[in-house]
Amino acid sequence: MSNNGVPNPIHYWLLSIQIFLFSSSALNARTAHGWGTKHQNPIKGGSHNLGHGSSSSSVYDSYQPYSPIFDVPSFGARGDGVSDDSKAFQVTWSAACAVKNATIKIPSKFRLLISPITLQGPCEPGLVLQIDGMIVAPGGPRMWLKPELLQWINFKNLHDFVIQGRGTINGQGSAWWWITPRILQNQLTNRNSRYDDTMKPTAVRFYSSLNLTIRDIQIQNSPRCHLKFDNCAGVKVTNLSISSPGDSPNTDGIHLQNSQRVEVENSTISCGDDCISIQTGCSDVNIQNIKCGPGHGIRHGA
């Protein structure tokens, strides 16, 4: 301060430098402990046309405002389609689950080999699984290292959850389709239980979840049903592609059970059984603009 009581300008200049240095240090500290996350500004504009096969930008490129991105490579996933990335995927899920509006990203050209897995909530709202690469199942019963046979990827107890992207979920079901229970018993790692023909895994299952959106991805070659919703409410499936050969047994496209307020629209389904199967306990189901075939159509009941 000057002799006349007026602050000296050089003091302001030094104080500004100190504030800048403190802010930079704090920012670097937060970045160093970011657990592999990135921040994505919302994408503005673009098309919201959900017609399958559109060349325009779709909503799968839209992240939540300032969404923290959890890249699976940052958590140890190799993405070569050979190494088992289940543990890295589970760790990524656990980290993102605790953060509001988080996005788990599987990059393009990534092949994420995943053993049977349960991805469980409750999570913070707004969680997105962005699949731009491929998630692949183990290549048949001989590589199935866990005794869980009813589902491959099991989502449980979720609220306000989205799956989207340009990528594919590949169940590698051809090794399962025509196998007999006896051969299945011999090939599985866990042989302490008896198996029958119904004990083949559903590719993607949602259980006891609310407000789900699945859009734009492909699900192909499931050992059994491709996509199942059990005890769910507030489900929207749009612009989805499901495919397996017409002679692949019991490969329902979408299976609904004990679920309410379900919309399925603008999707293409080809499979070896019902394109959409609506079972007991379902209500307020709206299905429109579905291309079905090969397949057994849309069926209510067994």
Q: Is the pLDDT of residue 9 over 60?
A: no
Q: Cα–Cα distance between 207 and 154 in angstroms, integer?
A: 8
Q: Please name the residues in contact with 130: beta carbons below 8 A apart, sequence gap of 6 or more.
A: 60, 63, 103, 104, 105, 106, 164, 165
Q: Is the pLDDT of residue 126 over 60?
A: yes
Q: Cα–Cα distance between 182 and 162 in angstroms, integer?
A: 39
Are 280 and 255 within 8 A, CB to CB? no
What's the pLDDT band for 194 if we cut at 50, 70, 90? Answer: low
pLDDT (0 to 100) of residue 25? 32
pLDDT (0 to 100) of residue 106? 98
pLDDT (0 to 100) of residue 54? 35
**Residue 123, token pair as written in the block:** 């999570």
pLDDT (0 to 100) of residue 195? 58
67-71 vs 159-164, strand pairing mode: unpaired
The residues carrying an active-site annotation are 273, 296
The stretch 114-119 carries a mean pLDDT of: 96
Are 284 and 259 within 8 A, CB to CB? no
Give the residue, 272 or 60, on which the prediction is more confident: 272
Give residue-wise pLDDT tens across range 127-153.
999 999 999 999 888 777 666 678 999
What DSSP string runs through 251-292?
--SEEEES-EEEEEEEEEEE-SS-SEEE-TT-EEEEEEEEEE
First to last CA, the chain: 87
pLDDT (0 to 100) of residue 210? 98
What's the pLDDT band for 188 if we cut at 50, 70, 90? Answer: low
Q: Which residue has the tokens 């605790």?
A: 98
Q: Is the pLDDT of residue 7 over 50?
A: no
CA of residue 290 relative to chain centroid, distance:
22
Give residue-wise pLDDT tens across range 284-299.
999 999 999 999 999 9
Are 253 and 231 within 8 A, CB to CB? no
Instruction: Please name which of 222, 269, 229, 275 lies closest in space to residue 252, comparing C-alpha atoms.
Output: 275
Q: Is the pLDDT of residue 39 over 70?
A: no
pLDDT (0 to 100) of residue 33? 30
Q: Cα–Cα distance between 302 and 287 in angstroms, integer?
A: 18
pLDDT (0 to 100) of residue 144? 76
Q: Is the pLDDT of residue 1 over 80?
A: no
Give residue-wise pLDDT tens across range 64-78.
556 799 999 999 999
What's the pLDDT band for 91 if we cut at 50, 70, 90? Answer: very high
Report phi then psi at 210, rounded to 5.
Answer: -135, 135
Instruction: Please name which of 298, 283, 302 lies closest in space to residue 232, comparing C-alpha atoms.
Output: 283
Residue 256, judged by CB atoms within 10 A of its CB (0-12, 13-18, 19+), counts as buried
Q: What percent of the chain has pLDDT over 70?
A: 71
Pick the most confident of 22-26, 37-41, 239-243.
239-243
Within 13 Å, how many C-alpha atoms sit on residue 244's CB side?
35
Mean pLDDT of the chain: 81
Q: Cα–Cα distance between 252 and 248 in angstroms, integer?
A: 10
Phi-psi region of 113 (alpha: psi -120 to 50; beta: other; left: phi over 0): beta
Pick the most confident of 11-15, 194-198, 234-238.
234-238
What's the pLDDT band for 15 if we cut at 50, 70, 90? Answer: very low
Q: Which domains does the chain have, with CATH numbers?
A: 36-300 (2.160.20.10)
Q: Is the pLDDT of residue 238 over 80?
A: yes
In the three-class reduction of DSSP (H, G, I as helix; E, B as strand; rest coil), residue 16 is classed as helix
